[in-house]
Chain A
Amino acid sequence: MGRKGLDYEDLNENVKKVQYAVRGELYLRASELQKEGKRIIFTNVGNPHALGQKPLTFPRQVVALCQAPFLLDDPNVGLIFPADAIARAKHYLAMAPGGLGAYSDSRGIPGVRKEVAEFIRRRDGYPSDPELIYLTDGASKGVMQMLNAIIRNGRDGILVPVPQYPLYSAAISLFGGSLVPYYLDEEANWGLDLVNTRQSVAAARSNGITVRAMVIINPGNPTGQCLSEANLREILNFCYQENLVLLADEVYQQNVYQDERPFISARKVLFDMGGPISREVQLISFHTVSKGYWGECGQRGGYFEMTNIPPKTVDEIYKVASIALSPNVPGQIFMGLMMNPPKPGDISYLKFATESKSILDSLRRRAQIMTDGFNSCRNVVCNFTEGAMYSFPQIRLPQRAMDTARSAGKEPDVFYCLKLLEATGISTVPGSGFGQKEGVFHLRTTILPAEEDMPAIMSSFKKFNDSFMEQYQDYSKL
């Protein structure tokens, strides 16, 4: 015996396997360059407030009052807080005995969960049970909890879209499961290809994998596509036939930039379908305060809702939630406020609606600006960002660029993104971080830089790209 300290070799192999490119190599390089004084535009993560988006006023007023309830006793509080914010703060403090500083119920404050259920009922037209809604420190924690509950060993497979948000691949690695990819169809605007999905499942099963669950991200990340009602029906039928739990990541449901396919929840479609399927397909739906037009990433507020999950399973999930004691209470209040925002007639309604609309309209415009900007670049093809917060252009790299990359020990898209970073300060995430078809390269950027900065950013990108393509063009082929 007598091992000295803790060596890298002695670590859990699953930990070593985990990759999370969103804060990986490109981000670390960008941070280094920033320290050296270079101006960096961070478009690696969906983090709106970091790029100048302002928080909505009303929720900040309410949470500040909850944070410092002594303000409510002061006769002058009405001078700097509107009456409805004051009333709402009292409403949440009444729901949370002990205030913001006490652990709540491990599932979250019952009153807030009721507000979530009410929101779901209004959105979908079907009742929702607050007892089956668990608040979490961000949606990611909920995803981790569910995957940890499902994955028993390396033979348990989870169907994950490619490209995907790499929380899923990271969590599956961490919990020792198998990722079963289903490829989205770039030619069809990143549409669902159920034929390919069925083939993936069959291939996995022939390798001894038990496919347990299917992840859908709607609207998609990094791809932005919005699923149609027909798509959702197909998916739910598929899960029913193949005995899969559906994990519906719907965190971008407020971020929709086209009118043909508005957001429709998996749960609504499930209940619309009626019959045995609506009572048997197991569904977990995820949401967050980090995205939408709220963008309150730093609060870590999220929830998951369980549909058709057996009571004993719910008990086990409750047990695991209780080990973490409770989600952070301010984040829970942000969730309550998002689920139950100011209504027409409320003092703060006009300001709230104006702020919200302004953000959404701007996101819609920026989605278009970016798509068009990428499509104007040489060897770049970009599907329209129908939803979410990202653009995922395909970069058609010349053979010489790919060869140069590989001899530098880098994946071609990583090589391209590093060069882009060094030339322009634009910090993106290479497509390999999300998964892509073999030999087809992409990068992910966000549509979040301020609108006034967009033209300069896109022109900087175009300048870099077109000269990169010129530099590596294989003229012998022309």
Chain B
Amino acid sequence: MAATVAVENLNPKVLKCEYAVRGEIVIHAQRLQQQLQTQPGSLPFDEILYCNIGNPQSLGQQPVTFFREVLALCDHPYLLQRDEIKSLFSADSISRAKQILASIPGKATGAYSHSQGIKGLRDTIAAGITSRDGFPANADDIFLTDGASPGVHLMMQLLIRNEKDGILVPIPQYPLYSASIALHGGALVPYYLNESTGWGLEISDVKKQLEDARSKGIDVRALVVINPGNPTGQVLAEENQYDIVKFCKNEGLVLLADEVYQENIYVDNKKFHSFKKIVRSLGYGEEDLPLVSYQSVSKGYYGECGKRGGYMEITGFSAPVREQIYKIASVNLCSNISGQILASLIMNPPKAGDESYASYKAEKDGIIASLTRRAKSLEDAFNKLDGITCNEAEGAMYLFPQLSLPQKAIEAAKAANKAPDAFYALRLLESTGIVVVPGSGFGQVPGTWHFRCTILPQEEKIPAIISRFKVFHEAFMAEYHD
């Protein structure tokens, strides 16, 4: 009897989609990690170093104490009745927990909330957005989600009717976008970031790609911008942002602004400006441009990936469209409450004068300073190697070096039925235990090769990573030199 659910009769969109961040190389790394446990000494390295995924706390980054204090008290509100907690929790974490619980009907953190998220928490987030941007934000525009990713899927679901609906996506991109577009049966319309100008975005190029797509009968519905960029790390110049907004307005595109790395900026000459702020600065209101802005608790200095907290702020959509967004959100009932609480905390952290402010600030500054140092060390190390060039990581959590692979290496890869950068990444893993993601997982100009490496390994491990990498790379290039 033929199995009813077999690869032959699965949804072809599921079969088509790919997600390299946890793909083949990572699965292989997990197998090697098992092997290290069962047969110590059987490999030329002692440990697997996961540099494939932006998962800071898995590599030793500590959570922000104040946030965890508040969350623990909200998880077990009975604690608030005990005097002993005064010696265990800061006074402001206690009062914040009480304030948050008071905004939850029945103080029940185990109950499904409103499908957009708890109103009081959305008020807090809206106030945080207003304070960040200088332009008002509305709690009714906010949808709290289990991480930012479900919000991306929701919009793709809404926008993509068939394979002729296209979404403009930067190349290289975070492969959630390509996967989501494939899952929803749409067309990815690439626009290439310019590696030689620090991964800059040229509006004229985007326009060309848009027109090219249209000439092929693609109805381009939206433009995705990732700022700061992933995997590329660039922070958009304000001028660029104005161009993008005007472009979207003129072309009737929905602007999907992935801003999850807004608090990861490592250079003094760039600042984060939200697209919401840019849109409002241009005098555009609700009637002018549909914009979805994404934020997450997974990145920044908080790095709380496992909590699955995030939100999207939707502006510029008509009431009937908003109703549809709400309706789809309601089928899943609501996002996890603890994640909702955390989203409100990151948008309203301790302020000067609060008891926890000094320690909070020290933790935050320490993490950002360390990320800045690690970004620089790794960037410099990659640039010192022959055959590797690496743009600066102005923000986010990644480096995306370019490999100049010798022709013999490219042929060896072909013979092994692998993309050249995947071939390189696999050899890197097998020689050193270092796990990176091949550039082909993100998209790149055809004929160029890259890999994405996070800046997240612990600072004390960075020198060893650099030296192991150098040994491998030089040996690899020597093996395949023309």
Chain A minimum-CB-distance residue to B93 = A68
Q: B186 → chain A, closest Cβ, in Å?
A: 10
Q: B314 → chain A, closest Cβ, in Å?
A: 10
Q: Which of A6, A68, A149, A298 contacts B11 (CB 8 A)?
A: A149
Instruction: From known contacts A243-B2, A316-B14, infer whether A298 and B108 are also in contact, taking CB-CB under 8 Å.
Output: yes
Chain A residues with CB below 8 A from B306, complex form:
96, 98-104, 326, 328-330
* A408 within 8 A of partner (CB): no
Q: Which of B14, B72, B115, B183 contacts A23 (CB 8 A)?
A: B115
From residue 253 to 305 of chain B, which have CB atoms closer than 8 A to chain A? 254, 287-290, 298, 303-305
* B478 within 8 A of partner (CB): no
CB <8 Å contact, B3 and A310: yes
CB <8 Å contact, A300 and B146: yes
Chain B residues with CB below 8 A from A14, complex form:
157
Binds A, one of B57-65, B409-417, B466-474: B57-65
CB <8 Å contact, A20 and B5: no
Name B's A-contacting residues (CB within 8 A): 1-7, 9-12, 14-15, 17-19, 21-23, 53, 55-60, 63, 65, 68-69, 71-73, 75-76, 78-79, 82, 84-85, 87-88, 105-106, 108-113, 115, 146-147, 149-150, 157-161, 176, 179-180, 183-184, 214, 221, 250-252, 254, 287-290, 298, 303-308, 316-318, 320-321, 324, 327-328, 330-339
Q: A245 → chain B, closest Cβ, in Å?
A: 5
Binds B, one of A56-64, A200-208, A355-363: A56-64
Instruction: State in angstroms the CA–CA spacing of A228 and B52 once bound together.
Output: 49
Given A101-B56, A244-B4, 14 other A-B residues pairs in contact with their CB atoms under 8 A: A2-B250, A5-B254, A10-B161, A11-B321, A23-B115, A71-B72, A102-B58, A104-B306, A175-B11, A245-B5, A319-B17, A319-B18, A323-B19, A325-B53
Instruction: From known contacts A4-B252, A167-B331, infer whether A320 and B17 are also in contact, taking CB-CB under 8 Å.
Output: yes
CB <8 Å contact, B68 and A67: yes
Instruction: From known contacts A15-B157, A57-B78, A149-B11, infer whether A309 and B5 are also in contact, taking CB-CB under 8 Å.
Output: yes
Instruction: State in angstroms the CA–CA spacing of A6 and B5 once bound together.
Output: 37
Q: Which of A149, A152, A174, A329 contacts B157 (CB 8 A)?
A: A174
Q: A178 → chain B, closest Cβ, in Å?
A: 14
Instruction: State in angstroms the CA–CA spacing of A49 and B110 once bound together.
Output: 6
Chain B residues with CB below 8 A from A328, complex form:
146, 306-308, 336, 338-339
Instruction: State in angstroms the CA–CA spacing of A326 and B57 once bound together.
Output: 14
Instruction: From known contacts A99-B57, A99-B63, A140-B331, infer whether A327 and B304 are also in contact, taking CB-CB under 8 Å.
Output: no
Chain B minimum-CB-distance residue to A60 = B76
Q: How many residues of A contact B (CB 8 A)?
A: 102
Chain B residues with CB below 8 A from A330, complex form:
75, 306-307, 336, 338
CB <8 Å contact, B53 and A2: no
Chain B residues with CB below 8 A from A471, complex form:
none
* A16 within 8 A of partner (CB): yes
Q: Which of B179, B254, B308, B324 contacts A327 (CB 8 A)?
A: B308
CB <8 Å contact, A325 and B65: no
Q: A158 → chain B, closest Cβ, in Å?
A: 11
